[in-house]
Amino acid sequence: MDAIELLKHDHRMVEQLFRDYHAAASDTQRRGVVELVIRELSKHAALEEMMVYPTAKKVLPDGAQRIDEHLSEHMAVKKLLLALDKLSAGDDREGELMSQLRREVDEHVREEEGGLFTQLRAHVSQQDLDELGRLLGQAKHTAPTRPHPGAPDQPPALTAIGPVAAAYDRLRDRLQGRPST
């Protein structure tokens, strides 16, 4: 998959997780889905920030402004993910936080798929998109799995902090028995 196809695939997976959340039969099942949402959106955001947005910033005529808007949206999502991460199964706030998160993610997906991705495809060669997709696929295995709203969201600081955060996240995940994907 090229980078755009891979990112769209991530979007479809998260949309399915939101449906799974509403179909879950118990607090424990819903919490399991929440943990997967946290994991997948955290990885997706980190990889976009580290690998996709810098490219868009360089090649798009209004890249810096557009990416600043996307980073602002990511921050809102990260704060919601952090709030969800702190909850336990059955917490009364979970449903409302998941609804807020879904609204934020839906809007972000519409903007990316309706504009940013189209422009990237027009300004980046297919060969480069294929290579970026390959690199994104590899990086998914080592990306942070938890939200870090206080961490840098742009290279070079993100590139230095990201691997440390990812290692810490994966250790916490293992110790807490969280699902891995």
Distance CA 93, CA 73 (A): 21
Whether the predicted model's global pTM rises above the 0.85 cut? yes
User: Is residue 153 predicted with pLDDT exceeding 60?
Assistant: yes
Please give the mean pLDDT across all residues of the chain: 89
* CATH fit for domain 3-175, picks 1.20.120, 1.10.10, 3.40.50, 3.30.2390: 1.20.120
> For 56-92, what is each residue's pLDDT tens digit?
999 999 999 999 999 999 999 999 999 999 998 889 9
**54 token code pair:** 């810098």
> Domain coordinates of the chain in residue numbers?
3-175
Higher-pLDDT residue of 9, 149:
9
DSSP 57-119: HHHSTTHHHHHHHHHHHHHHHHHHHHHHHT--TT-TTHHHHHHHHHHHHHHHHHHIIIIIHHH
> For 104-128, what is each residue's pLDDT tens digit?
999 999 999 999 999 999 999 999 9
